[in-house]
Amino acid sequence: MATMRTATTTAGARAGGRRATATARTRRTTASRATARDLAQVALELDGETLTAAAAAVLGLGAGLGIPIFFVQQEKRDKERLEEIRELNRATLKATGEQMTPEEIQELRASRYLDRREFKDDD
C-alpha cells in the first residue's frame, strides 16, 4: 500500500507541476496581453497636439545642444587654422623679410560672421 501511495503521490506531483507551469504561462500571457492592451490604450490617447509637443521638445533639445556644440567645434578649427597661418607668416618673414599681406591672409582664412561686424560703443 505504501508503494501505491508513493506512485500516486509522484504522479500527482508531476500533474500538479504541470498545472503550476500551465498556470504560470497563463499568467505571463495574461500579463503580456494586459501590457499590450495598456500600450494600445496609451497610443489611442496620443493625439496630434501631444505628438507635436513631443516632437517640438525633441527638436528643441537637439537644437539647444547641437548648435552650441557646432559653434565650439568651428572655433576650435578656426584656432587651428589661425595658428597655421601664424606659423606660415613667421616662415615667410624669416625667408623674405616681409610679412604676408592682409589679402593673402584673407585668402587662407575664411571670413567669419563676427569678423564682418562693426562693434560700436554707443554708450
Which domain range does residue 60 map to?
48-114
Whether residue 12 is contained in a domain is answered as: yes
| Cell numbers at 13, concatenated | 506531483
Segment 92-118, tens digit of pLDDT: 999 998 988 888 888 888 777 666 667
- The predicted pLDDT at position 31 comes to 57
The 10 Å Cβ neighbour count of residue 11 is 10
Report how many domains make up the chain: 2
Whether residue 54 is contained in a domain is answered as: yes
Whether residue 9 is contained in a domain is answered as: yes
Claim to verify: residue 61 and residue 37 sit in the same structural domain:
no
Claim to verify: residue 105 and residue 55 sit in the same structural domain:
yes
Q: Read off the pLDDT band of 66 (50, 70, 90).
A: very high
Residue that wins the pLDDT comparison between 27 and 35: 35
Mean pLDDT over all residues of the chain?
A: 76
The type of residue at 8 is: T
Inter-CA distances, 31 with 26, 36, 43, Å: 8, 9, 18
Greatest pairwise CA separation for the chain in angstroms: 118
- The predicted pLDDT at position 108 comes to 83
pTM: 0.48
Contacts of 108 (CB under 8 A, 6+ apart): 81, 85, 88
Whether residue 120 is contained in a domain is answered as: no
Residue 37 has pLDDT above 70, yes or no: yes
Claim to verify: residue 73 and residue 86 sit in the same structural domain:
yes
